[in-house]
Structure 1
Amino acid sequence: MSRLNKIMTFRSFWRSKSTIPDKLKGGLLEKIVGYFRNILNDYKDVAVETAKDMRERPIKSGIYVSLITTTVVLCKTNPGEKEYHSRLTESVTDLMLVGERIRNPKSESAVNRLASYANDGRLRCYNIGICSLMCLKSHGPDVKLYSANCKYVKPHWTEFYKTIVDVGVFGKWIKLEEAMKDFDTNPEEWMEDGQPNPKFKYYKDSLVSWDMKLK
């Protein structure tokens, strides 16, 4: 029997109760087929009514579809703890490849602080589905102080927002990306008019003058 004939036979069996032999009617097989047939009909009715409602209320339907689509995309692109530590390591490497005196001091300070927290085991990631929260704990996992283990002296849950150091959404960690913006440019190196700052210590201590000639 070809595949097409098998499909047609199954569809006929599914749609009609008469395909069940008389000796099996009222038995377990008929109950199972009837159960799944009812489920299929229910889903079919819901789909038909939903399509009809979408045609009658296109604006409302568009809003719902947009919300559902956005939620699905947020869940699919939600970064986790592994992605955060990977991006933090990349940030540290990028800064190491830039000369110490021309690094952006804000980027260097922020990344050094986060790297220190990570090394101490004080960062904890909370995945809430559509986004992730990277929070700072008061102590690392190896600390056995009273304040680190007693729940009565720990921060209240209403102060949880104060521990958030970064928010992950759409595959990126917002604060970390902001910290690495223009990481290879030191604002003190240039004046407001775009000219090099002669008071900047890099040029003051350098062996190369403005015209690229050795002093």
Structure 2
Amino acid sequence: MAVAWRRLSGAPGRAGLWTRIRGGKVGLWTKSLVNDYREACKELVVGTRDNPGKAAVYCMLLAGASACTYSNPSDKSFQVALLESANQLLVLSPWVRNGQADQHVQKLLTIKTQGRLRHQSLFLFSFMYADPHDPVTSIYDAQCEYLKPRWSDFPGRVLDFGFLGKWWMLGSKMKDWDVNDVEFAHLPAQLQTVTPRNLYSAENERLYDLKFQPVILQEEDTQEGVD
């Protein structure tokens, strides 16, 4: 230890290694960097004291950005959500499944099976998009540089948008995954949709009695049947 210290300090009358480093370019650059950080921290403290409202807004924005980055969904989370959605639809009869949900999930599964499903993280949020070809494809269309998709075509290839730990397009499609809209297409317009107002018991009773009322044919309907 003493030998190492003497080597760093140098012999009497001669500058040691530590002294040469402090006086060299690296030492001067490090000293300048430390001074810059010190001045920046000092200005930050003074600015926070003079403008507390502005500092609070900046802190909230920084905290929000940090929360979005931390909860940014990954490719694995989309794979899990897609498999869960497919399993939910699988337990239902094709006559009961929601047509839009089933079509959307089947499209995603097809793209995944073809190896064209891609994930792109932008720190605060993520995208799932479809590539025209699998990376291992060797056909001419996949290898030609002039046939590769342009950035202007990217919005049309986006499949889902991930933000705050959730994939929003898949969640929107699976909202009424167990309701087949085609099954209720023959009902009157007021019976095809359910609003919070319809959930009251009196309104439910009225709609229940409505389906037992006879269908009234107009004169033009009878004429069409005769023709």
Q: What is the TM-score normalised by the length of structure 2?
A: 0.65
Question: 2:116 is matched with which residue: 116, 122, 126?
Answer: 122
1:84 aligns with one of 78, 100, 105: 78
Segments of structure 2 that go 5 or more residues without pairing to the other structure are 1-7, 195-206, 212-227
Q: Which residue of 1 aligns with 2:133?
A: 139
1:173 matched to 2:167? The reply is: yes
- SS of 1:102's partner is coil
Distance (Å, rounded) in 2 between the aligned partners of 1:177 and 1:105: 15
Query: 180, 185, 198: which one pairs with 1:186?
Result: 180
Count of aligned positions: 176
Deviations 1:107-152 (A, max 9, x none): 1110011111101111111122111111111122343321121110
CA shift for structure 1 position 24:
4.7
* Structure 2 residue matching 1:140: 3-state secondary structure: coil
TM-superposed CA distance for 1:83, in Å, is 1.3
Partner Cα separation in structure 1 for residue 117 and residue 109 of structure 2? 10
Is 1:99–2:99 an aligned residue pair? no
CA distance in 2, matches of 1:40, 1:108: 59
Cα distance in 2 for partners of 1:38, 1:142 equals 51
- Structure 1 residue ranges without an equivalent (≥5): 1-22, 199-215
Note the alpha carbon deviations across 1:76-126, whole angstroms, 9 max, x for none: 111121111111111101111223221111111100111111011111111
Corresponding residue for 2:43? 49
Give the match's secondary structure for 2:89.
helix
Q: Deviations over 1:11-36 (max 9, x none)?
A: xxxxxxxxxxxx9597455777x998
Determine the C-alpha separation between the residues in 2 that align with 1:140 and 1:40: 50
State the partner residue of 2:63: 69
Q: Distance in 2 between matches of 1:180 and 1:62?
A: 39
TM-score with structure 1 setting the length: 0.68
